[in-house]
Amino acid sequence: MPERETLHVAELHGDGISAELSASVHAVAAALPLRVQFHPVDLTLASRRKDAAACYTAALAAMREHRLAMKYPTVTEKESPNKVLRERCNFSVIHRPVASLPGVKTRHDGKVDLHIVRIAVGGTYEDAGRRIGDDVAVSIRVIERRPSREAALFAFRLARRLSSSVVSSSKHTIQQATDGLFEEIVRGVASEFPEVQHHSELFDSLLYKLLIKPEAYRVIVTPNEYGDFLSDMACGMIGSLGLGASANYAFDERGDVALAMFDPAGGTAPDIAGKGVCNPSASLLAFAMLLTHAGFRGLGTMVDESVRTAIAAGESTRDLGGTKNTAEFTAAVCARLAGR
């Protein structure tokens, strides 16, 4: 029997429920007709307190060697590990797909099937600001051409593959210099994709329209903080932040992906850590994105659909109204993979 192909993945371990999420991903990976070799890096708070520089150096080395990474939630203390990795790896684009799942109770009747493409740098997040006297505080807002173009290119390539349009969203009528530059760059990229329709919407209007008729939107590209707000709101529309998976991308000079890191959108959940009851869905969906990006599109689709069908059948964790613990839900996903 021929040996299975091996996929090498850097695995960045974190805090709280990180170990349980990793165990779930490993179990699903073992159920695939593909050998996934995980290369662990310790990014726990305890290790970062001892030698943060060594932790980040090891993470960067592993990601540069394998070009793929799974990351689990980490505690932010003196610094945000996500921000540090973003800066050191030159991640400029965050992609978060958000789609309604049958079997998940929501307070929203519309069908959501979104791809949110967010510039991962700049905006108001680059500058913590400063006080001027007792009554005034200021911060600088930054929009850069290269990451804006990379986000736009990613969005239009994705839309072309999905046969959908692209909506760019900002507050360009108010932030005329910064958001105006972003929209100008998006329009320039749009001219390179005549087959993809594009229009711009003001961000506040977009939020309203998205809540009223989410079916009208598929691919949205935004500056940093707008994409952050939009991603969490969209997860609320489908019933849980625990269903949000993300991808972070860095690009080479040709515009091709040089590094990719995949992670769940949720946090460390210290109140349930170690109890075996966390929902691993977002990590498994992120792993499905990783497989697809690595060229194993069929396997990525299998994992994604197995997670969704398990939830739709009521075999979900307690946060989604089910009765399964983490291991039981993972087993339900693996059983569907084995049955294919």
Q: In this structure, is residue 265 part of a structural domain?
A: no
Q: In this structure, is residue 2 part of a structural domain?
A: yes
Q: In this structure, is residue 264 part of a structural domain?
A: no
Residues 65 and 152 in one domain: no
pLDDT in tens, 147-201: 999 999 999 999 999 999 999 999 999 999 999 999 999 999 999 999 999 999 9
Domain with residue 204: its CATH number is 3.40.718.10
Residues 69 and 121 in one domain: no
Give the mean model confidence (pLDDT) for residues 224-229.
94
- List the beta bridge partners of residue 131: 137
Number of compact structural domains in the chain: 2
Q: In this structure, is residue 83 part of a structural domain?
A: yes
Give the mean model confidence (pLDDT) for residues 62-69.
95
Residues 127 and 49 in one domain: no
Residues 327 and 279 in one domain: yes
| pLDDT of residue 79 exceeding 90 | no
3-class SS at 54?
Answer: helix
Domain membership of residue 36 as a residue range = 1-89+270-340
pLDDT at 1: 36
pLDDT at 340: 59
The answer to whether the CB of 195 falls within 8 A of the CB of 91 is no
pLDDT in tens, 88-147: 999 999 999 999 988 888 888 889 999 999 999 988 888 888 999 999 999 999 999 999
pLDDT at 119: 96
pLDDT in tens, 260-287: 999 998 889 999 999 999 999 999 999 9
Q: Are strands 198-202 and 113-119 parallel, antiparallel or unpaired?
A: unpaired
Residues 233 and 127 in one domain: yes
- List the beta bridge partners of residue 312: none
pLDDT at 3: 56
pLDDT at 338: 86
Residues 137 and 223 in one domain: yes
pLDDT in tens, 249-267: 999 988 889 999 999 988 8
pLDDT at 242: 77
Show the beta-strand stretches assigned E in the chain: 6-13, 35-42, 68-71, 93-99, 113-119, 130-132, 136-138, 166-170, 198-202, 219-222, 245-251, 257-264
Look at residues 195, 214, 238 and tell me which one is the last residue of a structural domain.
Answer: 238
Residues 83 and 115 in one domain: no
Q: In this structure, is residue 285 part of a structural domain?
A: yes
